[in-house]
Amino acid sequence: MFKLFGGNKQSVLGVDIGNSSLKLVALSFRGKTPVLDGFGVISLPEKSFVDGSIEKPEEVADAIVKAQRLAGVKATRAITSVAASDVITKEIQISELFYGFDLEEQVKIEADQFIPYPIEDVALDFEVLGPVQGNPAFNRIGIVACRRDGVSAREDCLDLAGLQCDVVDVDTYVYERALPPEELVPGRACAIVDFGAHNLTFYAFKDGLISYHREHTFGGEELLQQL
């Protein structure tokens, strides 16, 4: 993700929209080192964001403005993410003869076979992962697909807050890139637990890549009630 920042010293905002609060961090680069310029956490009004869907974009946008003000950073570019539970990922194999626009069209054709809703309603991205082992005439292609309305809703909130949405990422990939170097050693395994207000998500990593994740409907609010 940081390569998107280039050598620009202007802060880029990372926006995490949750069920009960909105979290924002401002990052920039000093040389090759990422620097935290500021952060802000703002509580969201009830039912603004429900089960991964933005129900009240104006209230979410207002929270983004307040969080940026709290962070004390002026920025115009932002990055946000969707939950892995809202995303379909798959690895396919395509002939190396396809590239550029032809490869994009072939990916859409292949993706249409396993995505359970119309391809025109999908935000689709892909990456060439390298040649197929033992069959270099084909490339491994990683595909990520999400309902377009979920992506558009997040872009609209950032736009209402006066920000340009540079990237809509997937939370599991964000966690992979956030792992410290010592966790990237071959054979190394680790776990991250995201304890939210309504949900707890467990992520398991091996060799720096996510190997398993599971979401449980238990969070901080329920724990407080039980206590």
pLDDT digits (tens, 9 = 90+) for 62-84: 999 999 999 999 899 999 999 88
The token pair at 125 is 């991205």
Specify the amino acid at residue 141: I
SS (H, E, C) 60-112: HHHHHHHHHHHHCCCCCEEEEEECHHHEEEEEEEEECCCCHHHHHHHHHHHHC
Q: To the nearest whole percent, how much of the chain has pLDDT over 70?
A: 96
Average pLDDT over residues 196-224: 84
CA distance linking residue 176 with residue 84, whole number of Å: 13
Beta bridge partners of 222: none
Among 14-18, 29-33, 113-117, name the one with the lowest average pLDDT.
29-33
Mean pLDDT of the chain: 89
CA distance linking residue 205 with residue 175, whole number of Å: 9
CA distance linking residue 83 with residue 174, whole number of Å: 10
| Diameter of the chain measured on Cα atoms | 61
Indicate the SS3 state at residue 150: helix
The token pair at 184 is 């990237």
Structural domains of the chain ordered from first start: 2-82+149-181 (3.30.420.40), 84-147 (3.30.1490.300), 182-227 (no CATH)
Cβ(199)–Cβ(215) under 8 Å?
yes
What pLDDT sits at residue 9?
58
Closest CA to 105 of 124, 130, 88, 129: 124
Positive/negative CA dihedral, 38, 223, 196, 212:
positive
Average pLDDT over residues 208-225: 83
pLDDT digits (tens, 9 = 90+) for 18-62: 888 999 999 998 888 889 999 999 999 988 988 778 999 999 999
